[in-house]
């Protein structure tokens, strides 16, 4: 039985990815690659549900679920802007760009969460917090290096990055490689044009 690592996500249009690259250039230059493992722009996406290890036999069920949910949810826009860190800017482990979204996004994510739980996937305990991961803080950094990251987060501001039209949802597989994850789109379902 072969397993694949899967997730359901919203893909960003190329013009938004380009804007992210431009707006985060100063942050990337300030912090470099020694402190942060940066997410390649082409890998940036808004995860709606991380599924984890999935058998190939479940793919048809997931495709049916995505088609059904996409048909019952309208297209919408996301506004991207702002910079933050999880769990907190004082103890950053992950750097993110904020997403301001309409209630349509929360509704879509909740219905996908409910549907995947019915299929036997574990329910997410944390509340849905839409964001785009742009980098992960490397392990075992020194206190001065941590201070450098905190200082960059306080001084570098990201304004309005752009608007992304969400017209479909996607099922991806993730292959973990030494150089980072490689994402492959397995299926797409268009949202309703209500």
Domain that holds residue 13: 3-190
Domain total of the chain: 1
| Residues 6 or more apart whose Cβ sits within 8 Å of residue 69 | 108, 111, 112, 115, 169, 189
Catalogue the E-assigned strands of the chain.
3-11, 36-38, 45-55, 76-88, 91-100, 131-137, 160-166, 168-177, 180-190
pLDDT in tens, 66-105: 999 999 999 999 999 999 999 988 889 999 999 998 999 9
Assessment of whether the complete model's pTM goes beyond 0.75: yes
Please provide the size of the chain in residues. Answer: 194
Q: Tell me, what CATH number does 124's domain have?
A: 3.90.1140.10
pLDDT in tens, 50-70: 999 998 888 999 999 999 999
Sole residue written with tokens 């190329």 = 14
Three-state DSSP state, 68: helix
pLDDT in tens, 20-59: 999 999 999 999 999 999 998 888 899 999 999 998 888 9
Structural Rg of the chain based on CA atoms: 17
């Amino acid at each position: 039985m072969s397993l694949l690592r899967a997730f359901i996500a919203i893909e960003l249009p190329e013009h938004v990815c380009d804007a992210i690259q431009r707006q985060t250039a100063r942050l990337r230059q300030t912090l470099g690659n020694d402190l942060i493992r940066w997410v390649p722009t082409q890998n940036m996406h808004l995860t709606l549900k991380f599924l984890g290890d999935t058998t190939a036999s479940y793919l048809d069920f997931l495709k049916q679920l995505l088609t059904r949910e996409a048909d019952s949810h309208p297209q919408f826009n996301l506004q991207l802007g702002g910079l933050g860190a999880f769990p907190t800017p004082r103890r950053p482990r992950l750097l993110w760009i904020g997403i301001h979204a309409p209630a349509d996004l929360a509704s879509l994510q909740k219905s996908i969460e409910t549907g995947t739980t019915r299929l036997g996937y574990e329910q997410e305990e944390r509340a849905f917090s839409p964001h785009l991961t742009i980098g992960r803080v490397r392990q075992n950094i020194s206190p001065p290096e941590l201070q450098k990251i905190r200082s960059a987060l306080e001084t570098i501001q990201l304004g309005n990055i752009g608007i992304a039209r969400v017209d479909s949802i996607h099922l991806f597989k993730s292959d973990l490689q030494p150089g980072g994850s490689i994402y492959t789109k397995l299926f797409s379902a268009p949202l309703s044009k209500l």
